[in-house]
Each structure stands twice: as C-alpha cells, then as structure tokens.
C-alpha cells in the first residue's frame, strides 16, 4: 500500500519497483529450483536468449505438452480404475489387473477410460509410479487414486506455475471487466515455531486430501471423451501447504553448526 500523500507519479514508480523486485524474486526462485533439480545453467540461459522467438518457444514446449497429455491420460486411467464398476470388487476396491490376457487387463482399462496412451507406455509408467504395485508374476495392483511419478518435480512445477500465472492474469482482466474471478488466495503467518506445527500440518493434509477426493470425481465427470466443440479447455484445482525457515533462523542454525565443529 502506498504511503499517504504520495503523488500519482510516486505511486507509479513504487508499483513499477515492486513489479521489478517481484520479477527478480520469481526468477531467482525459479532458477534456484531448476538448479537444485540438476537443470544446467547453460540451458536456462540459452532458452532465455531465444524466448523472444515464438517459433523457438513452440518447438521448446512441444515435447513438454505431449508429456503433460500422457500424464493426464494416466490420471484418467487411475480415475477409471477406482470408479468404473467393471474394475471394482464387491467392496468397491480396484481389482488386480493383468498386463496380458485375462478377464481384467490394463488394455481393457485403457479402452474403458478413453485414454489415448499406448498400453506399453502405460505399463512402463505404472512400473515407475508408487501409486501402483506390480507383483513378480506381473499382476498390477492400484495403491492410490492419484497417479504420481518419482523425480517428476520439474514438470509438475511447470504444470502448476504455468496455470497459476495464467489465473493471476485472468483475474486481473476479470476485475477490469467485472467478470467472475477464479479462486486464488493464500493464508500464512510469517513467524511460527516450526517445531510445534506437526499436528496442524497433519490436519491440513487430512482435510485437504478429503476436499480433493470429494471433488475429484465431480471434475472428472466433466471430461469430454470425444468432441468437436470449439469451446474446450481445462478446469482444475490446486491445494498445497508450505513451511520455510526464515533467513535469520537459517543463519543461527549455520552459526551453531560452525561453533560445534570449532570448539573454543
């Protein structure tokens, strides 16, 4: 909020400064995240230099879009496995599936889901996912409804951040045009004892998971299997919680660690 008495020019300057500093923080956090996930600095710089070219931008993201579609297909397959009566036992649990022949197979599940992924690709991704267990005889068991892959942080971050930034942009236009806004909000406190928050985090996890489970099927029911309509897009919900030590606490921790290594 601008101080009282500030001129219009001063407010504009402050706003521009805040935007620039925010951009710096956003880029710094992105670069640090990529560095920690072993993305080469040279590739980041190379992309930044070529980003102004729309043609180059499209080529760089094409493979990523295909990966996102495949990941989306795996989510459809898992949702079908947990909801289609053909693949549920009398207690409503997902039935074990065969990779080849049998009364219940992965190929049958893919066809029922309407996913466009090859059976061989789906099986390979299932082998890598903690959402699925495969016995020595090749029988496939569902462990959890949500499909996840290990070491998939960078594509997941790209998926979420890209859509979050798009939401901010749409809401800015919505305020100007007085149209309905998309949900975008956060709540946090800047100073909290991190050693005392475990029960609250468990509560957040439990309630957040229950909320997502309650709407997952409702959102999935909106999916179009095949359509030639022009007005087609995405709808989704993200929920996440975070904890992060402050800079001062990190400095104190490093100081204590150094003192323990260098006793006087």
Minimal CA–CA distance to 129: which of 143, 113, 110? 143
pLDDT tens-digit readout, 94-107? 999 999 888 999 99
Residue 193 has pLDDT above 50, yes or no: yes
- How far is the C-alpha of 2 from the C-alpha of 78, rounded, in Å? 50
Which pLDDT band holds residue 6 (cuts at 50, 70, 90)?
Answer: low
pLDDT tens-digit readout, 47-65? 888 877 665 555 567 778 8
94 phi and psi angles, rounded to 5 deg: -60, 135
Distance between terminal CA atoms of the chain?
49
How many CB atoms are located within 10 Å of the residue 147 CB?
Answer: 22
Paired residues of 134 in beta bridges = 140
Position 13 scores a pLDDT of: 79
- How far is the C-alpha of 70 from the C-alpha of 88, rounded, in Å? 24
Position 113 scores a pLDDT of: 92
**Helix (H) / strand (E) containing 133:** strand 132-134
Query: How many angstroms separate the Cα of 46 from the Cα of each of 3, 41, 43, 138?
Result: 41, 9, 5, 44
Position 132 scores a pLDDT of: 96
The crossing angle, in degrees rounded to 10, of helices 106-113 and 119-128 is 110
Query: How many angstroms separate the Cα of 203 from the Cα of each of 189, 198, 211, 213?
Result: 17, 9, 12, 15
Domain ranges of the chain: 20-52, 63-177
43-47, 55-59, 166-170, 172-176: segment of lowest average pLDDT: 55-59
pLDDT tens-digit readout, 213-252? 888 878 877 877 666 777 788 888 888 888 988 876 554 5
Q: Percentage of residues in the chain with pLDDT exceeding 70?
A: 85
Residue 204 has pLDDT above 50, yes or no: yes
Question: What is this structure's pTM?
Answer: 0.70
Residue 264 has pLDDT above 80, yes or no: no
- Residue located via tokens 């620039």: 20
Asked if 80 contacts 109 with a C-beta cutoff of 8 angstroms, the reply is yes
- How far is the C-alpha of 138 from the C-alpha of 140, rounded, in Å? 6
Three-state DSSP class for residue 141: strand
Asked if 149 contacts 129 with a C-beta cutoff of 8 angstroms, the reply is yes
Mean pLDDT (the chain, rounded)? 84
Residue 107 tokens read as: 């190929």
């Amino acid at each position: 909020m601008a101080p009282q008495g500030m001129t219009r020019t001063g407010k504009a300057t402050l706003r521009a400064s805040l935007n620039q500093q925010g951009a710096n923080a956003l880029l710094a956090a992105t670069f640090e995240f990529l560095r920690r996930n072993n993305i080469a600095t040279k590739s980041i710089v190379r992309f930044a230099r070529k980003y102004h070219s729309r043609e180059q931008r499209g080529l760089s993201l094409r493979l990523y879009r295909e990966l996102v579609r495949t990941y989306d297909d795996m989510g459809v397959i898992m949702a079908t496995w947990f909801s289609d009566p053909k693949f549920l036992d009398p207690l409503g649990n997902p039935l074990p599936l065969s990779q080849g022949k049998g009364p219940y197979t992965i190929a049958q599940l893919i066809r029922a889901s309407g996913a466009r992924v090859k059976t061989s690709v789906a099986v390979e991704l299932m082998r890598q996912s903690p959402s699925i267990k495969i016995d020595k005889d090749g029988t496939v068991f569902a462990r959890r409804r949500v499909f996840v892959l290990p070491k998939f942080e960078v594509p997941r971050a790209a998926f979420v951040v890209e859509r979050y930034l798009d939401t901010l942009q749409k809401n800015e236009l919505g305020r100007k045009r007085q149209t309905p806004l998309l949900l975008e909000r956060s709540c946090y406190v800047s100073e909290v004892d991190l050693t005392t928050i475990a029960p609250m985090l468990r509560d957040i996890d439990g309630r957040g998971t229950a909320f997502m489970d309650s709407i997952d099927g409702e959102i999935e029911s909106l999916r179009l299997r095949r359509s030639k309509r022009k007005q087609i897009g995405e709808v989704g919900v993200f929920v996440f919680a975070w904890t992060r030590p402050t800079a001062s606490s990190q400095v104190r921790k490093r100081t204590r660690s150094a003192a323990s290594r260098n006793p006087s």
